[in-house]
A and B are shown apart, each in its own frame.
Chain A
Amino acid sequence: MRGPLAAFLRKELTQALRDPRMRLLLLVVPVVQLTIFGLALNSEVRNIRLAVYAAPSDTLAWQAARAAYASGYFLPSPAWGQPFDRLRAGDADAALVAAPGGMALALAQGRPGAQLLIDATNTVKARAIEAYLQAAAAPSLPQPPGGSAGVAFSVRVHYNPALRSPVFLVPGVMVMVLLMVTMILSSMSLAREKEMGTWEGLLAAPLSPWQLLLGKTLPYFLLGMADLPLLLMAAKTFFDVPIAGPLWMLALGGASFIACSVALGTLISTAARSQQQAMLGSFLFMFPAMQLSGLMFPVENMPAFIAWTAWLNPMFYFMELLRNVMLKGGAPAIFWRDFGMLAALAALLWVLAWRRMSQTLN
């Protein structure tokens, strides 16, 4: 490739990759991050510290406690002092307090045999604790006559039968890391030229506005596309996240998402006057977009006046696309809808960036 555009592209790529630390940040750190978060995060609640307050002679209570500890979700915590104080001090997550006089007596009288105190500062954890404990303790408690009657559920979990967290979270973290790398870099590169005063030099160069736009964005697009297979490989090898669907779907989806993210970065940088502003601007977009993308909180569970923002959020579509292709094998209807929305958003953002760019030039 020759001509001013090629020279400009070369300059941009050299600038981005000149610093060895930057090469590390762009190509190695994303994979390391993915690995760390994939290993650490677990949406299943574990290691619940359970303190048992029961008389040593209360065999029923201790049976229930032993069953809970044997389930693997609970850890013993010493029952010192008052249960409430233990929970408040954060030394235990839950306390099983047997009824005075023993569980057997209370149950025989038709009262609850024990009270389960749960620290509810984390509401998700609190619910899980109750569900786990009720399930673990139930077999060890005496069945009342006719107790087996009633409704029971037989549950099957699809696509991720063991509900392994990496399978759910790794695609999400991939989206996050990709967005961070591409959007921030592209937003800061133009702002940097403005801050350093080299922007005027570029304007004086024989480059048309679209060449300028392309030169400022294409390198970051390419860097993002280089990160995508790295992240996919890490997801597959380290976490055994399945890639059930075809790779071309991932490539197409990735390309359209990265196009969105780079265009957004450019849009921000046309408005920003310094790198600090560009950074804060990216952040202002990124943080809400991340939380409202369905990465951790289902969007449909949000109030309507916020949920609609998901319709404009590229992260939302890419997240859905990744989960659909990687875990479910890529139902075409869903894929084309998500890809279509991503492509439409990318086109819209590019037109906006283009218009802003030409305005800056005049």
Chain B
Amino acid sequence: MSRFAARRAWAIAGKEWRHILRDPFTLGMALIMPALMVVFFGFAIDFDMKGIRAQMVDRDHSPASREFGRVLSASGFVRLQAPAPGELPLTALGLGRAKAVFTVQPGFARSLAQGLRATVDVDLDGSDNQTATTLSAYLAGFQQAATARLAQPPPRALAARYLFNPELSSRFFIVPAMLALVLAILCVLLTAMTVAREWETGSMELLLSTPAQPLDIILGKLLPYLGLGLAAVAAVYVFARTVFGLPFAGSHLAFLLALLLFLLPCLSQGLLISVLARQQVVAMQLAMMSGMLPNFLLSGFIFPVESMPRFFQLATMILPGRWFVLICRDAFLKGSGPLDLALPFLMLALTGGLLLGAALARFHKDLEP
């Protein structure tokens, strides 16, 4: 008996496919959820902070200080409110009424008129890091705008130009990476359950008593989910291009190759978990812990990998999501050549091969009497 036969793998794939089709809920989830999420998050998450609640305490009561308030409001980043009478900046921050309090000190207008530096105190709510960090980055812009309006502005020494996303659109930043994230999570989760289910319900014994070989079973289990993953990507791609108007700067062929290379480690990771766990609850927890959280937090989706401590920069090398996030952003926004992406491609192939090998080896071991 040969070790592997395409016909047998195909038959197992057919059985698995029928499992999926029989369960319209799972099928619907697999197809609709990724697209839904990308649309949802493409609309919901905007790193351009707009309308951050802020207060302005005007202790100068001069035309200049009022003009300063107008400059702040006009930026659109903050929504200025007047503080309640007698309220201290710290109270407003503590009660969450404002994320930032601008206090214009007396003498603001006089300093400006004399050509001196006029200081505005800013109190930020540091318990919300994300907003505080973003606001501090905006302060430079406020300063320039206010100085330009109220005093003689010095010429700008450095002129910044943003490449690949000139309007700094959050959607361009989020949506391509979201594709990687949703796929990684979905493929790991779905496959993690399949083999565990066969063990748990006892149907694995049946499957093993057929002429099917371990490789047949593994490949047969992977194929349908590979198909589902590809269908989900197609849906997301169409949404990204039409609804969000994303460009696609790279080569479609290279992207398709990267996609297949990425689905392999994801599916194999799910399989390995499934083979190891043999129980759906355990498989599920393992898939969540090893698939969802790392891909969400360590892949560079939001937190740049380069900003992590050295150890984690190296450790995340084995995370397929990290490489695919990179490839997605590149394919949609930058369009660099194949040589520039050699490392991500290589790492995807490597982790995919390793994980699939591990799943196969472990599965063989389970079958030995």
| Contacts A21-B282, A150-B153 given; does A292 touch B129 at CB 8 Å | no
* Cβ-defined contact, B133 with A43, below 8 A: yes
CA gap between A39 and B311 in the complex, in Å: 10
* Cβ-defined contact, B336 with A90, below 8 A: yes
Stretch in contact with the other chain, from A136-144, A205-213, A247-255: A136-144
B189 within 8 Å of A (CB atoms): yes
* Cβ-defined contact, A188 with B40, below 8 A: no
Partner of A301, one of B49, B147, B304, B337: B49
Report the minimum CB–CB distance from B345 to chain A (whole Å).
13
A199 within 8 Å of B (CB atoms): no
Contacts of B285 in A (CB 8 A): 22, 25-26, 29, 180-181, 184-185
| Contacts A155-B122, A323-B127 given; does A184 touch B51 at CB 8 Å | no
Interface size grouping (class) on chain A: 35 or more
B277-304 vs A, Cβ < 8 Å mask (1 yes, 0 no)? 1011110111011000100011000111
Contacting A at CB under 8 A, from B28-86, are: 29, 33, 37, 40-41, 43-53, 68
Report the minimum CB–CB distance from A102 to chain B (whole Å).
13
Contacts of A134 in B (CB 8 A): 140, 158, 160
Contacts of B308 in A (CB 8 A): 40-42
* Cβ-defined contact, A302 with B118, below 8 A: no
Contacts of A156 in B (CB 8 A): 121-124
A123 within 8 Å of B (CB atoms): yes
CA gap between A115 and B93 in the complex, in Å: 38
Contacting B at CB under 8 A, from A37-63, are: 37, 39-49
CA gap between A330 and B281 in the complex, in Å: 37
| Contacts A44-B307, A306-B43 given; does A152 touch B119 at CB 8 Å | yes
B116 within 8 Å of A (CB atoms): yes
Identify the interface centre among A26, A134, A185: most chain B CB within 10 Å of its CB. A134
A112-144 vs B, Cβ < 8 Å mask (1 yes, 0 no)? 111111111111111110110111011001011
* Cβ-defined contact, B137 with A128, below 8 A: yes
Closest chain A residue to B33 by CB distance? A284
CA gap between A157 and B132 in the complex, in Å: 8
B369 within 8 Å of A (CB atoms): no
Closest chain A residue to B93 by CB distance? A158
Report the minimum CB–CB distance from A236 to chain B (whole Å).
16
Question: What are 5 contact pairs spanning A and B, CB under 8 A?
Answer: A64-B158, A143-B154, A149-B152, A168-B130, A196-B201
Q: Which residue numbers of A lie inside 8 Å of B, CB to CB?
A: 19, 21-22, 25-26, 29, 33, 37, 39-49, 64, 84, 87-90, 93, 96, 103, 107, 110-128, 130-131, 133-135, 137-138, 141, 143-144, 146-161, 163, 165, 167-169, 173, 176, 180-181, 184-185, 188-189, 192, 195-196, 274-277, 279-280, 283-284, 287-288, 291-292, 296-298, 300-303, 306, 320, 323-324, 327-328, 331, 333-334
Q: Which residue numbers of B lie inside 8 Å of A, CB to CB?
A: 23, 25-26, 29, 33, 37, 40-41, 43-53, 68, 90, 93-96, 99, 112, 115-134, 136-140, 142-143, 146-147, 150-166, 168-170, 172-173, 185, 189-190, 193, 197, 200-201, 277, 279-282, 284-286, 288-289, 293, 297-298, 302-304, 306-309, 312, 316, 326, 329-330, 333-337, 340
